[in-house]
Structures are given as structure tokens and as C-alpha cells.
A and B are shown apart, each in its own frame.
Chain A
Amino acid sequence: MTDDREPTMTGYDQARWIDGDEPRYEPLLSEKDETTVEVGGDDGPLPDDLTRDDLTLPELSEPELARHYTRLSQMNYGIESGPYPLGSCTMKYNPKFTEDVAALPGAAVHPDRPDGTLQGTLELMAHLQDYLARIGGMDEVSLQPPAGAAGEFVGILVAKAYHEHNDEGHRSEVIVPDSAHGTNFATAALAGYDVIEVPSAEDGRVDLDALEAAASEDTAAFMLTNPNTLGLFERNIEAVAEIVHGVGGLLYYDGANLNALLGRARPGDMGFDVMHYNVHKTFATPHGGGGPGAGPVGVVEKLAPFLPAPRVRERDDGFERFDPEYTIGKVHGFEGNWLVLVKAFAYIARLGDDGLRDASAKAVLNANYLAERIGYEVPHGPFHHEFVASAGDQDAADVAKRMLDYGVHPPTTKWPDIVSEALMTEPTEIESRDSLDDLAAAFEAVREEDDETLAAAPDRTTARRIDQTEAARNPRLSWHDLAD
């Protein structure tokens, strides 16, 4: 820490609907109106035994609804509200023009039309497949998976189909490092594999001995993020690949952290056989309050025949969809989250080679600069686009709650758990030096506060600390549950 900037505390003061001194919450739609409409009867188009009796929903005018949702939006923090250094999630600014591109008339077509009537859509898909293949150093790409976890599922199903095709269906294990994201474990289990967890080495990277001990002729695949969830490049990646390939397994790349490497290193060159791209992270498509995203999958040549159906290719007379020879089938009813893919295409085209390389450079610069300016210890390095600090004696979750009071979104907390009281921080390239200084000031202010203050936080937000136990003990999931 060089300068002692005070946190501004003006970053983002959330709207609270104040009524006198009391915060008055925006009522539920159902508290504003409930209208019951009889269904069927003599005027209805269907016999009564095929219909319900009635339907009860709010009936409100457009101006009332506009206010309702505007108020709700004012009780929500987005990327344009302030810094959003949520580790592993790559919360970049979402360029506005990509929304307009996705809203172009002609983008909204039905997938069941014949290929000849969809040439523009198919051409864009072919270009995006090609861009992604180049960026990842992969041979072929499927755009179908609707999120990162769905991409993992495709990757592991492709690995399974490949092994079965080679009469190696006995391979029953997928190896995952202890620092991996929860979806890696859950995906391997969903695909029917036993999950073998390997501990990280002291330095936070893959422990080669542990991997060697875990790898066997039962290994179907090893799933790895690189840089890993601590932001560290797996310097031994070639040795890792040798161990995994040596026992006949495949190496899976979880693309969540690709924003660290654009134009500097490619999974295909490191020995990965199959990967997903997380376009809502690396390629700046909006996270939508939880989704939709997209998780295209890239593979090396030998795995291409197993990719989901359909894929797109160029022929002499235009573009067409086709089913790969040994396709695993589908992981989405149609062809994935198309509008998200359009936005990703627009973003990649906007940046091009130089812009992509620069995005990574600035993301890494920002993470390093921010880490430099905070007093929390960062046990592992050198890190790239994100770092995991330790809150030390403080409770990381409380630190996060207190950071809300300083008007910023806190880091991801308590994961990966190989760092105690983890604060997983990823500012991305979009923050200026000034805003990083603000963010650092917020970290520092919280670091110097006592446990009591932290435990009482937040108090400047729409809601104060929320009782999680009560929510889980008595689950109320709809307004019907509130009525009783």
C-alpha cells in the first residue's frame, strides 16, 4: 500500500423504498392485485373436461408494471453499477452494440427451417466455430452446450464415446483437482463416472506425484483449468499431459479462465484434447442475473466424430448442418443459446487478434495491480487474471458483506478452500486504475475493521444480512406460500 485513499462510500447506494424511517419493500405483484378468471364454460373453445376451472394472476397496467420492474432493477447491482470482481466469473462490461446485433431482424428464426433458407445463420455459426477453434488451438467446435457446465458434460460424454469406440469402455474414473469448480465434479458424476479427487501441491498447482498415483488404465479423463482457480499457470502442463495420455486418458480443459491467456497460450498447444469456452466470461456476453450463457466445446481431430449433432460446415453450394459420424447426440433440444452466441461473435469480431491479446494483458495487469494494493495476504503466485487472497483471521463471508457497505461487489468467497478464508478476486480488464484504487480502499477499510462490525454488515444495502437458516428451514418458494 502506497497511498492511503479513503474508500469513497459513494460508489453505489442502493435504492430503498423509504416510507418515513422504514424501508418499504416493493410489494409482490400478487400483493398489488389478484384476479381470478374462469376458464372454459359455454364460450370456451374446449370441452370442460379438458380445461382447468380458473386461473388467478395479478392484472396490472403497463405503467404499474414499468414502475414495478424499474424499482426492482434499482435494488440490483450490475456491472455498470460499479466494480464486480467476482472471482472465476469474469464479470466484464457487456458491450451495448452486441445487444443490437442479436436483436437484428433475421436473427430470430426457427431452427426447423431447411438449411437453404437459413444460410446467414449457418454462416455466422460456421465463422464462430472457426474463431473459437483458432483461439483455443482446437480442430473442431460444437456451439450447442448452453453453459459451461453443459460444455463439460459434452466434453466428458465425448470422452466416454471415444473410449467406448476404442473398446475401452471399462474406463470408469474422471480425475479432478481439489481446487476445481463444483461443476467439474458434478458433471463427471452426471456422466456416470467415479470422481477421483487429487490434492494440490504446496504451490497450489497440480501435484504430479498425486496425479501419477491417481492415473491408471481406469482413467477416462483429467479435468483441469489453466490458469487454475488460484490464477496460477500450471507450469508442468506438458508433464500433466504426458501422465494422462500415458495411461490412455484424455485431458479436459475447463475454459472458465481463458481470459488470462488470449493470444498468449492455447489449450490445444498444451496437450488438451477437449475444452469448453465460457462465452459469458471470456467473450463478454451478459450474465443475465444467472444466465443464459453458452459453453461451446472444442476438440482435437480424433474426437470430432463424437461431437453433438448437428454441426455446421461449408460446402461448395453453401452452408449445411450435419451429424458427426459417431455423434453423442444432443445436450440441448435445439442448438443451444443462439442469441448469446451471436453476441459472442460480435465481441470477438470487435476485438480481433490485437484486442483479444490486449484484453488478457489488461486483465492480468489489473489483477496484479489490485493484489499489490491490498494488505490481505495472497499466498500463491505468480497469478494471472485473478488472485485468491486470504482473509486471515477474519471470516471471508463477513468481509464480503462489509464490502457491500463500501459500494462494491465483493469477491467470490470461501473457494477454492485450499486457501483459508478465500477471497477470490478477478477485476477483469475493464477497471481503470482509479477504480482499482477505490476497490483496494474498500478491501483495506474492511481489513482494518473488527469482527463485530463485519458481523453486523451490511447496513447500507437494500436488505440487511439475510437469515439463511430460516429460508432453508421453512422453504417458501412462491407467493402462495406467503399467504398461509
Chain B
Amino acid sequence: MTDRYHQAGGTPFAPHTEAETAAMLDAIGAESEVDLFDIPESVAFDGEFGIDARTEREIREECGRLFGENDDLVEFLGRNHHGHYVPSLVDHLADRQEFLTSYTQYQPEITQGFLQALFEYQSILAEVTGLGVPNASMYDAATALGEAATLAARLRQVDGTRVLVPELLCPGRRSVLDNYVAGTDLVVETYPTADANVDVDALADAADDDTVMIYAENPTVRGTIEEHLADIGRIADDAGALFCLGSDPVALAILEEPASVGADVVVGDASVLGMPTSYGMGLGLFVTREEFIRQVPGRLVGVSTDDAGNRAYTLTLQTREQHIRRERATSNICTNQAWVALRTAIHAAMLGASGLVDLAETCVREAEALAADLDSIDGIDAPIHDRHHFREFVARTDRRAAAVRDDLLEAGFAVHVVGDHEVQVCVTERTERRTDDLVAAFEEAAR
């Protein structure tokens, strides 16, 4: 392209002609743009970055070529990052510039649309969790867990220093949690699991008055459905600790309602709705009870009325937040994942109650069916845990798991290695029609 804005030598995203620039400098009373910079000589930069400008077409080609270098694999992968099919409606509506290019609703009178969408997102989370205080997003599930721990540290209702987490926890999630509590006096300790569920007796022994939070997941990172939620809730209650449950809105469409088992905080990745697999990019869901509302991290969208007496939405209880409370804020979060929350809400609305329940039941049925198929192969045991499963399960391989994984990669399939002789396989409605091929590949790889 050779039009004025697309030649090399300037940003194509500034509209100034040379004459306009000159007139503006004139109005300011400056000789040149450079004169406007008040940078001492000694720290000025007059070198080059060495970054070549490319055209739009060149960059699309370049990135297309790069992504083409990624192996074309069917991913049977999960473990805290799941990709469901995202309907086209989500992209097309969420990409409308009014949503995509706006920022935080500091001026609610001209951002009612986004505020309402976030309010609806919060409402969907309130429905699936049964808890009354959902926030408008954290970065991801791991940081939401970290924020839950600092919430526990702040509450006057609970005291102590111990945060108990299951020994089966994704290392990434654990590491984030450790960093979030680094500035508190909390210590994170693990409690045992039994057949990939909480070992209730061991947890009861571990929990004491010094415990501020017990974390458990449903489904667990190994895909098992937790069978002892009410017991965990009771143990947390007895210890005067918060019960923090990790889950996601697809699973919660059919699994036990968190409020009914005594959960005080629910965290997890809400982007299982709304986002495809995106190299781990997520959306931290965070919902808690009314009594903790003044200590909640992140933005909250509430309802009020405007001067004309009409219902209006607005960010509320902002005195909890960093821009007002500074070092005493409930969190340092500012920019969050609002647009992902919008996508999640649109996807959930598109599915509706029956579509969501149907999707969740598919996650149970497909995992069960695939495990049974793999189990019939010589050299494979699946699932190894005698539990119900959601989306994913662990299988034992007679061969070394890494060797099985490598052979599967050759055949075009990706699975997790989670032990010397253990692989983990995740199946959703997106990959369901490739399960026969995966089973065939396993038949070869298992030998």
C-alpha cells in the first residue's frame, strides 16, 4: 500500500499530515516534535531498536507461517485448561468495538451496556454456585485461588495461619498460591488424597483451629468427581476455616451446588465457556458469601437508580479497591478479564439451562466411554481411579508413559503424562468424534 498512512516512516495509526503537524507545532509555539520532549541528554536514546516495520499482510503471513510450525495435533488435553466449542455468536458480538475497545466503566452513564453484561455474568455465577457475591473477574483460576487465601487472611471471622490444599494440585496453581500468600503470615500445607478424592479422615486430622482455609476441587485435576464435599464443608466449619472450592461453570451445571455443601468461596476458570484453548489464557471466577462482601477482591457490578428514576448499573463498593484504598486495598488488581467474562456470559446464554446441562452430561459420558474403550486395550488400565469422571481421567500404561505419549504424538494426538506409567486423557464435545482414532492410536502405542 502506498497511501499516506501506510508508508514506512511513521505510525499508520496517527492521522496527522505534515501540514497539520506544522500547524499544531505553531499553535504550541514549538519548533519541532523533538523540542517537546524534556529528556536530559545523558539519558536520551538515539539508537535503533532494530525492529523492521512490516505491512499488515506481511505480519499476517509471518504469524500464519509461525503458527503453521506448531504440529497439527488433536489435543486430548485438559488439566486446568479446557477448550469447549465456542459458537460463532460469541466472537461476532464480543468483537463489536463498543465492547472490545472500551475500558473499565468509570463513567457508568455511557457504559450501561457492558455493565449489564457483567451483571448478567455475575448472575450466572451466582446461579451455578448458589452464593451471593460474584465478582466481575480475576485473571485466572490460580490467581483467584491466591485471592481467596488473602481473603481468608483478612477476615475477622477466621483466624490462624494454615491453608490446606490437596496433594493433587497442579504445580502451577500451587506456585501462584504460594506467591499470593508470600506477603501474609499464611503457610500452605498439603493434605492427603485417597483414590483421587479428598482423604476425609486425614483432612479431619490435619484441620485445626489454626486453619484458615481448606481448598478442594470438583472435578479434581485428575478429572475425578469429589464425593465428600459435604464432609469437607463440615470439617472446615468445625475448624472455623473457609471452605474454598475449585470448579468451573460447566461442571457446576450438574455437580453438587457449592452453597449446599457449605462452600464459602468458589474459584476456578470460567473461560471454559467463551474461550477456545488459548495457551492457558483464562478467566478467574470468584464467588463468595454476602457476609464477606466488604473484603472481596476485584470489581463488582451492582444496581442502582439514575436521576430519572430508572434502573442503572454501576461499579460498586469501590472503596475496597486499589485506586481508593491503595495499600489497604483488598487486592492490587486493576485491569482484569472483563471481555472474557462477556464472552462467557454470551456462551452461557447461548446454551441456556438445558444446553449447559447437556454439555456437562456429555463431559461425563464421553470420559466414561473413552476410558472404557482404552481399558479394553492390552497394556492399558483406565480409569485407574474408581470414581466418576468429568472430561478427563488417568490411565495406567504398561509401557513407559512418555513412550506412549511420543508414539501418540507421531500419530497426531496429544495427551498428558502424569506419572512414569500414567497418562491423562481429556475429552470434550470438541474432540469426541476423534476418539475412535485415538483408541486406534493407543492400540499401537500401548504395545
Partners in one complex: yes
Pick the 9 closest A-B CB pairs, nearest first: A334-B280, A352-B53, A288-B339, A192-B183, A106-B67, A290-B338, A333-B142, A59-B352, A72-B113
Q: Once the chains bind, are B11 and A351 in contact (CB under 8 Å)?
A: yes
- Known contacts A37-B353, A335-B280, A365-B33: A350-B303 contact under CB 8 Å: no
Binary per-residue interface labels of chain B (1-12) against chain A in the complex, 1 for a CB within 8 Å, 0 otherwise: 000000011111
Interface pick from B200-208, B209-217, B309-317:
B309-317
Which chain B residues border A36 with CB–CB below 8 Å?
353
Give the contact-size bracket for chain A.
Answer: 35 or more
Give the contact-size bracket for chain B.
Answer: 35 or more
Binary per-residue interface labels of chain A (70-81) against chain B in the complex, 1 for a CB within 8 Å, 0 otherwise: 111111111111
Q: Per a CB cutoff under 8 Å, which of B13, B354, B356 touches A92? A: B13
Q: Per a CB cutoff under 8 Å, which of A26, A134, A149, A261 touches B335? A: A149
Number of A-B residue pairs, CB cutoff 8 Å, is 652
Which chain B residues border A163 with CB–CB below 8 Å?
none
Q: Once the chains bind, are B339 and A289 in contact (CB under 8 Å)?
A: yes
Interface pick from B323-331, B371-379, B393-401:
B323-331
Interface pick from B158-166, B237-245, B271-279:
B271-279
Q: Per a CB cutoff under 8 Å, which of B81, B98, B352 touches A73? A: B98
User: Does any Cβ of A come within 8 Å of B365's Cβ?
Assistant: yes
Which residue of chain A is the closest to B109 with respect to CB atoms? Answer: A461
Q: Per a CB cutoff under 8 Å, which of A52, A75, A105, A466 touches B256? A: A52
Q: Once the chains bind, are B109 and A433 in contact (CB under 8 Å)?
A: no
Distance to closest chain B CB from A179 (angstroms): 12
Which chain A residues border B83 with CB–CB below 8 Å?
108, 110
Binary per-residue interface labels of chain A (447-476) against chain B in the complex, 1 for a CB within 8 Å, 0 otherwise: 000000000101001111111101110011
Q: Once the chains bind, are B40 and A235 in contact (CB under 8 Å)?
A: yes
Q: Enumerate B174-207 residues with CB–CB distance to A below 8 Å.
A: 175-176, 178-180, 182-184
User: Does any Cβ of A come within 8 Å of B84's Cβ?
Assistant: no
Q: How long is the Cα–Cα vector from A101 to B107 in the complex, in angstroms?
A: 31
Which residue of chain A is the closest to B94 with respect to CB atoms? Answer: A69
Q: Enumerate A81-131 residues with CB–CB distance to B below 8 Å.
A: 81, 84, 86, 89, 91-95, 97, 99-101, 103-114, 116-121, 123-124, 131
Binary per-residue interface labels of chain B (111-127) against chain A in the complex, 1 for a CB within 8 Å, 0 otherwise: 11110111110111111
Which chain A residues border B79 with CB–CB below 8 Å?
112
Q: Once the chains bind, are B172 and A14 in contact (CB under 8 Å)?
A: no
Q: Once the chains bind, are B70 and A118 in contact (CB under 8 Å)?
A: yes
Which residue of chain A is the closest to B16 with respect to CB atoms? Answer: A362
27 A-B pairs, CB-CB below 8 angstroms? A29-B123, A55-B127, A55-B353, A76-B99, A76-B111, A78-B98, A80-B97, A120-B67, A147-B335, A263-B45, A289-B105, A291-B137, A293-B335, A333-B172, A335-B280, A338-B278, A354-B53, A358-B10, A358-B11, A359-B13, A362-B11, A368-B30, A384-B37, A404-B109, A462-B109, A463-B112, A467-B305
Q: Once the chains bind, are B98 and A368 in contact (CB under 8 Å)?
A: no
Which chain A residues border B98 with CB–CB below 8 Å?
73-74, 76-78, 80-81
Q: How long is the Cα–Cα vector from A308 to B328 in the complex, in angstroms?
A: 26
Q: Once the chains bind, are B281 and A334 in contact (CB under 8 Å)?
A: yes
- Known contacts A70-B96, A134-B51, A365-B33: A354-B10 contact under CB 8 Å: yes
Which of B16, B20, B112 has the most C-beta atoms of chain A within 10 angstroms of its own C-beta? B112
Distance to closest chain A CB from B260 (angstroms): 7
User: Does any Cβ of B come within 8 Å of A337's Cβ?
Assistant: yes
Which of A53, A114, A137 has the most C-beta atoms of chain B within 10 angstroms of its own C-beta? A114
User: Does any Cβ of A come within 8 Å of B368's Cβ?
Assistant: yes
Distance to closest chain A CB from B371 (angstroms): 13
Distance to closest chain B CB from A40 (angstroms): 7
Binary per-residue interface labels of chain B (362-396) against chain A in the complex, 1 for a CB within 8 Å, 0 otherwise: 00110010000000000000000000100000000
Binary per-residue interface labels of chain B (221-239) against chain A in the complex, 1 for a CB within 8 Å, 0 otherwise: 0000101000000000000
User: Does any Cβ of B come within 8 Å of A277's Cβ?
Assistant: no
Which residue of chain B is the closest to A137 with respect to CB atoms? Answer: B45
Q: Once the chains bind, are A331 and B326 in contact (CB under 8 Å)?
A: no
- Known contacts A58-B349, A190-B150: A51-B256 contact under CB 8 Å: yes
Q: How long is the Cα–Cα vector from A330 to B301 in the complex, in angstroms?
A: 29
User: Does any Cβ of B come within 8 Å of A18's Cβ?
Assistant: no
User: Does any Cβ of B come within 8 Å of A258's Cβ?
Assistant: no
Which chain A residues border B334 with CB–CB below 8 Å?
147-149, 181-183
Q: Once the chains bind, are B38 and A191 in contact (CB under 8 Å)?
A: no
Binary per-residue interface labels of chain B (286-317) against chain A in the complex, 1 for a CB within 8 Å, 0 otherwise: 00000001000001111111111011101011
